[in-house]
Each structure stands twice: as structure tokens, then as C-alpha cells.
Structure 1
Amino acid sequence: MYFSTVSDLKISVITVCYNAKASIAACIQSVIGQAHANIEYIIIDGASTDGTLEAIKPFEQHIHTLRSEPDSGIYDAINKGIALATGDIIGILNADDVFASADILKNIAEAFEINSRVAVYGDLDYVNLNGQVVRRWRSGIYRQGMFNWGWMPPHPTFYCRRELYQQLGNYSLLYGTAADYELMLRYIHLQKVPVYYLQKVMIKMAIGGVSNSTYKNRLSALLFDLEAMNNNKIFIPLLAILFKPLRKIKQFL
């Protein structure tokens, strides 16, 4: 599908949140400050109790869909957002994260229009509470088979055409915190979806995360990764498991 101009490309941005009062305003502001004109913004709240909805209220005119109800976790909430999305392209912006600059969605739209790909990914910076960059995730150009060696793109930078979810399925709730890894593995490695690398820092991501919060969670994430690899035809899963964390070392250099 081609569009007469880049501005014709409608991008749905989905933010899921639960008790994100401290960060949600900055997240929303980074969306409404984007230069791309044709944006559909969807927020799925998991029935927050800390005042998150009150923090969202001043921005209601910029939010196309706001739903607040209990869910079965972040990926269940994302799937709800995907079901509501009407954009040509869908991407996820976590409640603790922000776009790195005001032209990110414009650049994403240009990447889809010029390169006729069905998915785009880019680079990401991890930042601390003071906004200082502490890690730099530089993805590089994808070549078929790289997932076998522990490669993956940063999920917050992953944007794809909406019909891809209809064709290949949404986020599986069977993989716990590895559901995002499994979806990109399924799309890019198993189904060989054509992807384009946007060589630009797209997202500033707050450090932390549930999967790394405790040793038990790290072990659980590791087992979910291994299951995702086994189910999506990674050549030697144990080798990929070994290389996956080793690839993170250069993020600190």
C-alpha cells in the first residue's frame, strides 16, 4: 500500500499504564509534541489507583481512546489497544518512556513510505531518573539469521503495519515478560517479515523493568526466552540464550 504523502499515513500509538502517575504526563507530552500530523493516540489503563487518570485528564483532548479497566498484564493491555487501533501503522510507547525528539513519528512514516517495508525499528537510549543516558542500544541492520546469535531490536522502537497483527497474531500471554521478544522473533525470524532499520535514537527508556527486578524474575524471563526460541525455530536455542545477554555489554561502552 502506498500513500500520496507521508502525512496520509496514520500511526496509532498505544500506551499501556498502571499506577504511572509520576511518568504518564511526560509520556503523553512526547506524543502530542510529535511533528507528524496523523496520529491516533490510545491509552489503556489497568484500573490505576494512584491518580494516574487524574494526571491524564488535562490531555484528554489529545487522546482518541482512553480505557481504564483491570487486565491480565501489560501484553493483555497492549492487545486491547491493538484491537481498538485504526491506524495504518501501530507502535507501543511505554508509560515510563518518551520519544527522543519531535520528529520520530515523522521519520517512521517516511521510512514506511520510502522503503515499502511492513516493519521498522531503530535505536534506544536507557536513561536514569535525572534523564542522563546510562546505556545505548544501537540495533544495526538486520540480516536473516541474526536472532540465532542473540540479536533482537529494542521493542519500544518496533512499528509495523496493522494488518500484520491480523495475519500473524498478537502478543501471546504464554511467554510472560518475553512476549515482546517472542512476537518480534515470530514476525522477523520465523515469518521473515521485511524490516527497515531507522538509524536514529527513537526512544528514551527509563532503566529498570519487571523482568530484571529480582533474580527470580530474571530466571523466569530466561526460561520464557528459551521457550520462545524453541517455538520459533531458533537453530541452537542454548547458544542464542548465551549470546543474548553478551550483546548487551556494548550498550555500556
Structure 2
Amino acid sequence: MQKQPLKVSIVTPVLNAADTIADCIKSVTAQTWSNVEHVIVDGGSTDGTIGIIRKNAGSDTIFISEPDKGIYDAMNKGIFLAAGDLVAVLNADDVYAADDVIERVTRCFMEQDVNACYGDLLYVDKTNMDRIVRYWHAGTFVREKFRRGWMPPHPTFFARRQLFERYGAFDLSYPIAADYELMLRLLYKHRISVAYIPEVLVKMRTGGKSAPSLKTAWKVFRENHNAWSSNRLNTSLSTFVLKPLLKTVQYVQPLSEP
């Protein structure tokens, strides 16, 4: 008896994203992989987003709209509504870089028998998605790279749903760095098997290069530090110093074609 193809659930948290949500939805419905559901979790939009979702949603869309406790709470709702074998988060401002991204991802899972995979990420101009602002070349996974400030691009991260059931989803005590804490918990602490796809999987819109305030930078530092300590992991100050420096390199490295 032939196995059913892997089902993939794409979770999109959204709040007042009328300018971008249609592009996000279309990039999911255009995927060549046949077994995809799109779980859209709206936090109570008031700018016309809900109408745009209803107009563009495909037949395999799960849609809820209700107040939440922030973006990571919305992501958690979507993850636990998901019925797929694999789960990924695609934010309302983001799109898949090609129509066969999910097909390539599922092939990676089937051929390499891993629990998660990730790829490269392009940051693009908010109004012109052909203009590349930053290239996040993730590189092959090496566990110790976390100690040098590394993490995979969260928007490109696909994981087996059972991982969230076993190890939990986003920790809401991290309002800024819950994605970092989750990656650290899954990949570094629990040592799940993971593969790198050396291709751009997602395009993410960015509003510009404005530097964060000192207050925000301190909050990020504190949450990153707490991510290690709360998971009872030891590291050094260099981990948190190197992390923002890695982003700087992504702005200046030569860009290859996605």
C-alpha cells in the first residue's frame, strides 16, 4: 500500500497586514506540493486583512480570528491547530522564494530522514521584493556554532509536528527572542536531527536598516542570555557579542542569485 505524501502545515500569524497578506497566501497556494494546509491565525485585524484572507484563501485553509497575547502566541495556536506531518511558520510579510520550496523541503525529509530542516533567507525591500537588502546564508548545521552566535533563519525552519508535542512550542516569556530560544532548545539542547538545504527558501520584507535602540538591544541580550540559562546550558559572553556581528556580515557579503 502506497504511503500518503507528507502533509505540510504552514502557520501564518497576522495582524493588520492588508498590504502583504495576499502575497503570502498566494505563495502558499502556488506550491507544487499537493498536500499543504495553510493555518492563518489573525489577532483581530481592523484594516481589511480579514476580508483579503477570505477572498484569497484556498480550500485547504484553516482560519481563525481572535485576540492573542502577541505573535508567538498566535504561532503556538497555529502549530497546535495544524494537522500536518511537518510544520513551518510563514509570517504575513513573507513569501516563499519559489513555487517548489515545499516540494524540495519534503524531499529533504524523505531522503535524509531528519526531524527538521532549514535553508537560506533573503531580506528584501518592503516595496520592491526584487531588491535584496540582506542575504542570510545559514550554512551547514554544526551544533557548536550556537556558541558563536549562530542560529538558523526561523522563517525557513520546517519541523516534524511531533517535536512540538514532545518539547513544546514558543515560550511566551520571551516576547522578542522566543524563536531563538526554540531553536536553541530543539537543536542544541535536545540535539534533534536536522538538514540544511543550500538554497533560498523564503523572502522576507524589511522596513529598512534602522538600528535598534539601546533599550531594545539590552532586552534582546537579556532574553538571549536567559534562553541559555533557563535551558540549563552554559556559554560565554562571546556568544551574545558575536550574534549581532553575524548580521552585519550578511549585509556586506557578495550576493549570489537566489
What is the aligned counterpart of 1:8 among 5, 9, 18?
A: 5
**Percent of aligned pairs with the same amino acid:** 42
2-structure distance, mates of 1:60, 1:118: 29
Provide, for residues 1-43 of structure 1, a one-character-per-residue CA deviation record: whole Å limited to 9, x for no partner: xx956x7010000000000101000000100011110001110
2-structure distance, mates of 1:141, 1:221: 25
Q: Tell me if structure 2 keeps the 8 A contact 1:12–1:39.
A: yes
Structure 1 residue 64: Cα displacement? 2.2
Question: CA 1:112/1:4 → structure 2, altered by over 3 Å: closer, same or farther?
Answer: farther
What is the aligned counterpart of 2:88 among 70, 91, 115?
A: 91
Q: Tell me if structure 1 keeps the 8 A contact 2:25–2:57.
A: no
Q: Tell me if structure 1 keeps the 8 A contact 2:7–2:35.
A: yes
2-structure distance, mates of 1:163, 1:212: 37
Structure 1 residue 220: Cα displacement? 1.4
1-structure distance, mates of 2:98, 2:58: 22
- What secondary structure sits across from 1:87 in the alignment? coil
1:193 corresponding residue in structure 2: 192
Question: CA 1:225/1:94 → structure 2, altered by over 3 Å: closer, same or farther?
Answer: same
2-structure distance, mates of 1:213, 1:44: 28
Q: Residue 43 of structure 2 aligns to which amino acid in structure 1?
A: G
Q: Tell me if structure 1 keeps the 8 A contact 2:29–2:58.
A: no
Q: Which has the higher helix share?
A: 1
Provide, for residues 187-239 of structure 1, a one-character-per-residue CA deviation record: whole Å limited to 9, x for no partner: 00000011000111000011149x96544323212211111122234432411
- What secondary structure sits across from 2:40 in the alignment? strand
Provide the aligned C-alpha RMSD in A.
1.8
2:165 corresponding residue in structure 1: 166
Q: Tell me if structure 2 keeps the 8 A contact 1:226–1:237.
A: no
- What secondary structure sits across from 1:196 in the alignment? strand
Structure 1 residue 186: Cα displacement? 0.2
- What secondary structure sits across from 2:138 in the alignment? coil
Q: Tell me if structure 1 keeps the 8 A contact 2:36–2:60.
A: no
TM-score (norm 1): 0.93
List runs of 5+ in structure 2 lacking aligned partners: 254-258
TM-score (norm 2): 0.92
1:124 corresponding residue in structure 2: 121
Q: Residue 113 of structure 2 aligns to which amino acid in structure 1?
A: S
Structure 1 residue 156 and structure 2 residue 152: aligned?
Answer: no
* 1:13-52 pair list within 5 angstroms: 13-52=10-49
Q: Residue 175 of structure 1 aligns to which amino acid in structure 2?
A: Y
Q: Tell me if structure 2 keeps the 8 A contact 1:45–1:67.
A: yes
Q: Tell me if structure 2 keeps the 8 A contact 1:147–1:234.
A: no
2:104 corresponding residue in structure 1: 107
Question: CA 1:243/1:213 → structure 2, altered by over 3 Å: closer, same or farther?
Answer: closer
1:140 corresponding residue in structure 2: 139
